Structure 1
Amino acid sequence: MKVFVYKGYAVVVMLRDEHCPPHVHVDGGRWSARFRFSFWHNGVELWDVVPQGRRPALAILEGLRQALKQRVHLARRIWWSKLRTLCLEQQLWDWQANSVVERSSAGRRVYLIESAHYEEQRNLTRLTLVGAAQGVEIEL
């Protein structure tokens, strides 16, 4: 499903056989790229470009990344409404750092994410944490 077009390049969320993490695809003809986005922060990053030897100019890739940052809310809405996952379940949430972490750090309050839901209207993510007295609301 098309999210937007940037300088003739369609930025899309694939709806069939898609996988985590949340990302969009760009077909550049002789190359294709994927950009990751998140439901717990507003960052957008280039994931990969194939084939590597036909990689476009950095200015094109950075322009695509910046354009996606401006439209990430729309990408989230499409991903959530069609795929029904935020790709956060079974990851660890660090309560002090307010972030998803790879592994527990000694002395930190880290909880397993049991479930995650996206509220499109408010651009808000809700996390249910195993063993925590309350959940987490993340305003994006």
Structure 2
Amino acid sequence: MLLKKSLSQSLMRFYHFAGRLSTHTTPYIDCNDEGVVFLEAKIDSTLDEFDLYSELDEHPERYFADNMVCYNSPHITSLVGVQINHFACGGLAVAVSLSHLVSDGCTNVSFLNYWGSVARYGSPDHKEEML
């Protein structure tokens, strides 16, 4: 619940991530505030048993929320997908898919850092204190 709430708060600053592609042929974002794809999954194995991504994997789409790796699909108009995976051991993994149509690597890292900071401090208006 904390990650979902902090994601919602973070989208206020990165509002264009919550928009949709109008079509795959027009290069603009409809900032309609529809939100992002957010999924939660329960995994019956432990985190150390989880098969991590391999370059030899022929089906990398299984690691991404709502098949968002297939960005050329006309059915996918979301720009961000998040999947929270809860493992039987109590471990947690977060998978995030961010479209390169809306941001570059630097912006993606800024968004993820900001989301983590909001989750840690509980508010988008926090003041981080250095010790």
Taking structure 1 as the reference length, what is the TM-score of the superposition? 0.28
Structure holding more helix per residue: 2
Looking at both structures, which has the greater relative contact order when contacts are Cα pairs under 8 Å and sequence separation is at least 6?
Answer: 2
Taking structure 2 as the reference length, what is the TM-score of the superposition? 0.29
Structure holding more strand per residue: 1
